[in-house]
Amino acid sequence: MRTEPFITASALLLVAVFAASCSKSPSSPAESSPIVSSPDTNTTTRTTAPPNDIIPAGTINLIAVDLPQFLALYADIASAQLDTSQLGKLPPVIIRFKNANDVTRSEAVRLLDKVLYDQAGIIVTHPDAKHALFEYRSREK
């Protein structure tokens, strides 16, 4: 079975729906903060910290999202600087996930951590609220 390349359009739609659903006023959705990505350091960071909003069930609906797009979404939800330097070149992993229940942002981050572990073999550790460190689970002690 071949997956058609609709990932970019679906990822953009996902981010737009996510930003609109987390807005305090449904009639005027808040603009999402820009994400800064540096290919030299292999890190992604969000520029401002969001409150622990409720994310409605089904809002995060990843059908076939590649790992770099997933990490950009992760950085936005977690509001953290992502350190993927231990991963080296990112593997060609396609992520699938949908939140079945309403969750807070911190619960969503824990769910996304589990998705990375289960689907990509990546462990995420959080040394503090503003940082997330990614490494392969084969390096577990």
* Cβ neighbours of residue 130 closer than 8 Å, sequence gap 6 or more: 49, 79, 80, 81
Residue-wise pLDDT tens digits, 94-138: 999 999 999 999 999 999 999 999 999 999 999 998 999 999 987
Residue-wise pLDDT tens digits, 1-10: 434 333 343 4
Query: Comparing 123 with 28, which gets the higher pLDDT?
Result: 123
Domains for the chain: give ranges and CATH numbers.
7-22+33-139 (3.55.50)
DSSP structure string for 41-110: TTEEEESSPPP--EE-TTSSEEEEEEHHHHHHHHHHHHTSEEE-GGG-SPP--EEEEE--S-EEHHHHHH
pLDDT of the residue at 52? 66
Stretch 61-71: mean pLDDT: 94
Whole-model pTM over 0.75 = no
